[in-house]
Amino acid sequence: MSLIPRTEVGEGLARALEAFSGEPSLLLALVPGGVGLGIELSRRLALPLEPLITSKLCLPGGEEGTTTIGAMAERGDFFLDLVAVRERQIHESALDHCTDAALHQIERRIRLYRAGEPLSDLYARTLILVSEGFDSLSTARVALATARRMMPRRLLLAVPALSDEFHRALSPLTSAIYTLQSPGELERGEPIGRFITSFDSMNDEEAAGFLRQFRLESQHAGRSGADASQHQPPHEELGEV
């Protein structure tokens, strides 16, 4: 696959997902990386967008993403790599530290992205989980598990590229997976940036800021549309000739 700009990624995925814009659907952006692509898809598909909060479980002393042994999501879904725990002989106290740090991160992100409000009730909708890529299966699994527990009408995954291994592991958890690459073009752990240009990684503060600005723009556009409709001249019915 050749390099493609971010706008073309959004355009390509939007074309693939446009059939779902005419039904009760919602985009779930996995924070922080999925926010930018989620906003792009929300604009193109005219679908509402919600952030989905997760946190990796990392060994003490390591930054998030360096020594990951699992992941946790905001509604309590939890995945622990038991093979890694046994191989590394990780002590119970270290696991407790990982869990506490993940809970703290989730609480911080809920305050940052949703002002402390819980995730909305998304029952019986088509949910589209949006991510710019996964560096571990644990995050993808807990995110999809959280979405599945909301009992959606269907659950879709939209991601620019996905390795064959990840595709096989995640397919049973979704109704369908939408990507822009053919099978076999991305190896496990290979960076998405090899195929996609202009995907600047965002931290939580930047992603939350973009999301707030997008919401303000959407609210302003909604008010402008309502005001315009209120000022339309009255429709004159034609009488009989």
Q: Is residue 205 part of a domain?
A: yes
Distance CA 225, CA 8 (A): 28
90 within a domain of the structure (yes/no) = yes
220 within some domain: no
- Is 238 contained in some domain? no
Compute the Cα dihedral for 79, 205, 8, 65 and give only its sign.
negative
CATH number at residue 20: 3.40.50.2020
**Residue-by-residue pLDDT tens, the chain, 241 positions:** 445 566 788 999 999 999 999 889 999 999 998 999 999 999 999 999 999 999 999 987 655 446 889 999 999 999 999 998 998 899 999 999 999 999 999 999 999 999 999 998 899 999 999 998 888 899 999 999 999 999 999 999 999 988 889 999 999 999 999 998 765 555 554 545 445 544 557 899 999 999 999 999 998 887 766 565 555 655 444 333 3
Residue 234 covered by a domain: no
What is the extent of the structural domain holding 193? 6-215
pTM for this structure?
Answer: 0.85
Answer whether residue 37 is part of any domain.
yes
**Number of structural domains, the chain?**
1
Residue 224 exposure: Cα atoms within 13 Å on the Cβ side: 6
